[in-house]
A = this chain, B = another copy of it.
Amino acid sequence: MNPLRAIFDAGGVVANGWLHIGSTWSAEALGYQGFDSLTVDLQHSLYWIDTAIPMIQAISGTPAVPLVRVASNTSANVMKVLDAGAYGVICPLINTKAECEEFVGACKYHPLGYRSLGPTRPKIVMGADYSQRANEDTLAIAMIETQAALNNLEEIVSVPGLDMIYVGPGDLSLTMGLTQRVDSQEQPYLDAMEHIITICKAHNIVAGLHTNSAAYAKQMVALGFQFVTLSTDTNFVTQAANKIVTDFRTE
């Protein structure tokens, strides 16, 4: 049912967009630009849950699938965005097995987890049988973004019900003692990416990461990542604007 699962199962790659602008229009318009999924980000964006819900609704009508990154490993918020119709939840800063279990538990109904029953929107929009198939359909995605998480990676990915990990390059490079950046080419960082792929493959877990360019995304897909975020809406709108103004002002 979840189109992303079909892509993963077929060995394909998901191109994901990232939303920091709190607008149903910007979200919906991006849903028609070729992304497989769009992530409504509650953490580093300029909006919160009341704005996010109509964005999820607007994305529902487009070819892209709505995901949500919650701001923290808070079960009430994980459940809230699932009840609003997210096809998957990305949770920041999963550093230990226990944290991963808490997160995955919030994503899945009893007995796999402790998600509270009440899928208000999905049972109307996705089908009356939603609660029966939600545990299989909905993606639980843990962010790996610290050296500590790398150290515990094998334990983290062994949590039953976890579907995917997602690398947060900014915090990861920083806590690895490298230059803090997205799209890093430093060798220890690239080694870490390879290590992540090896572990994920061994546990049948999809690997995803955040990038700021198509070139780096392709490089990571070649490594084995099956889910890549291609920059953010703030980057799109400001970089394109900056370019046209600069072009105009340049002789």
Residue-wise interface mask of A (14-30) relative to B, using a CB-CB cutoff of 8 A (1 in contact, 0 not): 01010011111110111
Interface centre among A17, A72, A175 (most CB of B within 10 A): A72
For the complex formed by this chain, how many copies does it contain in all?
6
Q: Judge whether A76 and B43 touch: CB under 8 Å.
A: yes
A151 is an interface residue with CB less than 8 A from chain B: no
Known: A71-B76, A241-B35. A214 touches B248 (CB 8 A): yes
A7 is an interface residue with CB less than 8 A from chain B: no
19 pairs, CB–CB < 8 Å, chain A vs chain B? A15-B249, A21-B25, A23-B46, A24-B53, A43-B118, A44-B83, A44-B120, A46-B120, A46-B121, A48-B80, A54-B58, A58-B61, A61-B62, A71-B77, A72-B75, A116-B171, A117-B174, A233-B241, A240-B240
Chain A interface (Cβ within 8 Å of chain B)? Answer: 15, 17, 20-26, 28-30, 32-35, 43-51, 53-54, 57-58, 60-62, 71-72, 74-77, 79-80, 83-84, 92-93, 109-110, 116-121, 124-125, 131, 145, 168, 170-171, 174-175, 180, 213-215, 217-218, 228, 230-231, 233-242, 244-249
